[in-house]
Chains A and B, each alone.
Chain A
Amino acid sequence: MPEIGTISLAAALAAALYAAATFGMAAWRRSEELARRARWASVAVAALETLASLILFYLLGTSDFSVRYVAEYTSRNLPPFYRLVAFWGGQAGSLLLWSWILSLLGAVAAYQRFPGQPAMGFAASSVAFAVDVFFLLILNAVTPPFARLSPVPPDGAGLNPLLQNPGMFIHPLTLYVGYVAFAIPFSFAFGALATGNAGRPVWVQAVRSWTLFAWLFLTVGIVYGAQWAYVELGWGGYWGWDPVENASLMPWLTATAFLHSIMAQERRGMYKAWNVILVALTFLLSIFGTYLTRSGILSSVHAFQDSALGQWFFYFLAAATLASIVLIAARWQQLQGEQELESYASKEAGFLFSNLLLMAMAFAVILGTLYPLITRWLGQGEITVGPPFFNQVVVPLGLALVLLMGLCPFLGWRRTNGGQFKESFLAPALVGVVVAVGLALAGIRIPGALVAFAIVAFVLSSLAAELWREASRQALKNGEGVLRALGRLLARERRRYGGHLVHVGVAVMIIGMTGIGFFQVHATQSVQAGQAITVGGYRFAYNGLLEKRQPGRDVVMADLEVSDRQGRPVASLRPEKVFYPDGQNSTEVAIHGNLARDLYVILAGWQADGTTTFQIYVNPLVQWMWIGEYLLVVGTLLALWPGRRPRLQGSGADGAAAGSGGDDGGPAPAWPEERAEVAELMVEARDLSKRIGERLILQGISLQVPRGQFVALLGPNGAGKSTLLRVLSLLSPPSAGTLRIAGQDPLEAGDSLRRRLALLSHNTFLYGDLSARENLYLYGRLYGVENLQARIVQVLERVHLTLFQMDPVRVFSRGMQQRLAIARILLLSPDLVFLDEPYTGLDLEAAASLNSILAELKAQGKTLFLITHSFEAGLELADQVAVLVRGRLVYQAPSSGWSVEQYRNVYLQKAGSVK
Chain B
Amino acid sequence: MHRRLFRWRLAVAAAGALMLLALYFSLVYAPTERTMGQVQRVFYFHLGNAWNAFLAFFLVMVASIGYLKTRSRRWDIYAEALAEVGVVFTTVVLITGSIWGRAAWNTWWTWDPRLTTTLVLWFIYDGYLALRASLENWETRARLSAVYGIVGFVNVPIVFMSIRWWRTIHPVVISLSGMDMDPRMVPAMLASLLAFTLLLGVCTVLRAQISQSADALQSMKDAFRQD
Interface residue ranges, A against B (CB under 8 Å): 379, 691-695
A695 nearest CB neighbor, chain B only: B139
Q: Can you add 9 more A-B contacts, CB < 8 Å, to A379-B177, A691-B71, A694-B73?
A: A692-B139, A693-B71, A693-B73, A693-B138, A693-B139, A693-B142, A694-B71, A694-B72, A695-B139
A443 to B142, CA, bound (A): 73
How many residues from B make CB contacts under 8 Å with A? 7
Contact residues, B70-129 vs A (CB, 8 A):
71-73
A379 to B177, CA, bound (A): 10
A residues less than 8 Å from B73 (CB atoms): 693-694
A379 to B181, CA, bound (A): 12
B43 to chain A, nearest CB (A): 15
A379 nearest CB neighbor, chain B only: B177
B residues less than 8 Å from A691 (CB atoms): 71
A693 nearest CB neighbor, chain B only: B139
A693 to B144, CA, bound (A): 12
A695 to B138, CA, bound (A): 10
A560 to B139, CA, bound (A): 86
B151 to chain A, nearest CB (A): 16
A694 to B139, CA, bound (A): 8
A61 to B176, CA, bound (A): 56
Query: What are 12 A-B contacts defined by CB distance under 8 Å?
Result: A379-B177, A691-B71, A692-B139, A693-B71, A693-B73, A693-B138, A693-B139, A693-B142, A694-B71, A694-B72, A694-B73, A695-B139
B residues less than 8 Å from A694 (CB atoms): 71-73
B residues less than 8 Å from A693 (CB atoms): 71, 73, 138-139, 142
B143 nearest CB neighbor, chain A only: A693
B69 nearest CB neighbor, chain A only: A329
A residues less than 8 Å from B72 (CB atoms): 694
A379 to B73, CA, bound (A): 42
B139 nearest CB neighbor, chain A only: A693
> Which of B71, B72, B142, B177: most chain A Cβ within 10 A?
B71
A735 nearest CB neighbor, chain B only: B71
A694 to B74, CA, bound (A): 10
B161 to chain A, nearest CB (A): 13
A294 to B62, CA, bound (A): 34
A residues less than 8 Å from B71 (CB atoms): 691, 693-694
A867 to B125, CA, bound (A): 43
A502 to chain B, nearest CB (A): 43
A564 to B177, CA, bound (A): 63
B177 nearest CB neighbor, chain A only: A379
A331 to chain B, nearest CB (A): 14
10 smallest CB-CB distances across A and B, nearest first, come from A693-B139, A694-B73, A692-B139, A693-B138, A693-B142, A693-B71, A693-B73, A379-B177, A691-B71, A694-B72
A691 nearest CB neighbor, chain B only: B71
B207 to chain A, nearest CB (A): 19
A691 to B142, CA, bound (A): 14
A residues less than 8 Å from B138 (CB atoms): 693
Contact residues, B124-142 vs A (CB, 8 A):
138-139, 142
A residues less than 8 Å from B142 (CB atoms): 693
B73 nearest CB neighbor, chain A only: A694
A695 to B72, CA, bound (A): 10
A695 to B222, CA, bound (A): 12
A696 to chain B, nearest CB (A): 12
A336 to chain B, nearest CB (A): 16
A694 to B142, CA, bound (A): 11
A886 nearest CB neighbor, chain B only: B226
A720 to chain B, nearest CB (A): 14
A residues less than 8 Å from B139 (CB atoms): 692-693, 695
> Which of A379, A692, A693, A695: most chain B Cβ within 10 A?
A693
A283 to chain B, nearest CB (A): 25
A840 to B70, CA, bound (A): 37
B residues less than 8 Å from A695 (CB atoms): 139
A703 to chain B, nearest CB (A): 25
Contact residues, B161-203 vs A (CB, 8 A):
177
A694 to B141, CA, bound (A): 13
A695 to B71, CA, bound (A): 11
A692 to B71, CA, bound (A): 8
A694 to B70, CA, bound (A): 10
A379 to B178, CA, bound (A): 12
A693 to B70, CA, bound (A): 9
A332 to chain B, nearest CB (A): 11
B residues less than 8 Å from A379 (CB atoms): 177
Question: Chain B 136-162 against A: per-residue CB contact (8 Å), 1 yes, 0 no?
Answer: 001100100000000000000000000
A422 to chain B, nearest CB (A): 43
A residues less than 8 Å from B177 (CB atoms): 379
A338 to B142, CA, bound (A): 35
A342 to chain B, nearest CB (A): 31
A693 to B72, CA, bound (A): 7
B129 to chain A, nearest CB (A): 19
A691 to B73, CA, bound (A): 12
Contact residues, B54-76 vs A (CB, 8 A):
71-73
B107 to chain A, nearest CB (A): 24
B28 to chain A, nearest CB (A): 26
A379 to B175, CA, bound (A): 13
A694 to B219, CA, bound (A): 12
A695 to B215, CA, bound (A): 12
A464 to chain B, nearest CB (A): 53
A833 to B138, CA, bound (A): 31
A83 to B73, CA, bound (A): 68
A298 to B84, CA, bound (A): 42
A6 to chain B, nearest CB (A): 34
B142 nearest CB neighbor, chain A only: A693
B67 nearest CB neighbor, chain A only: A693
A559 to chain B, nearest CB (A): 57
A691 to B138, CA, bound (A): 13
Question: Chain B 29-73 against A: per-residue CB contact (8 Å), 1 yes, 0 no?
Answer: 000000000000000000000000000000000000000000111
A363 to chain B, nearest CB (A): 23
A690 to B79, CA, bound (A): 24
A139 to chain B, nearest CB (A): 28
A512 to B139, CA, bound (A): 66
B160 to chain A, nearest CB (A): 15
A691 to B72, CA, bound (A): 11
A692 to B139, CA, bound (A): 7
B176 to chain A, nearest CB (A): 11
B203 to chain A, nearest CB (A): 25
A693 to B211, CA, bound (A): 15
B38 to chain A, nearest CB (A): 25
A692 nearest CB neighbor, chain B only: B139
A692 to B73, CA, bound (A): 11
A694 to B71, CA, bound (A): 7
A860 to chain B, nearest CB (A): 38
A694 to B138, CA, bound (A): 10
A692 to B137, CA, bound (A): 10
A693 to B67, CA, bound (A): 10
A106 to chain B, nearest CB (A): 33
Question: Chain B 200-226 against A: per-residue CB contact (8 Å), 1 yes, 0 no?
Answer: 000000000000000000000000000
B76 to chain A, nearest CB (A): 8
A361 to B78, CA, bound (A): 37
B76 nearest CB neighbor, chain A only: A693
A706 to B138, CA, bound (A): 37
B113 to chain A, nearest CB (A): 15
A692 to B72, CA, bound (A): 10
A694 nearest CB neighbor, chain B only: B73
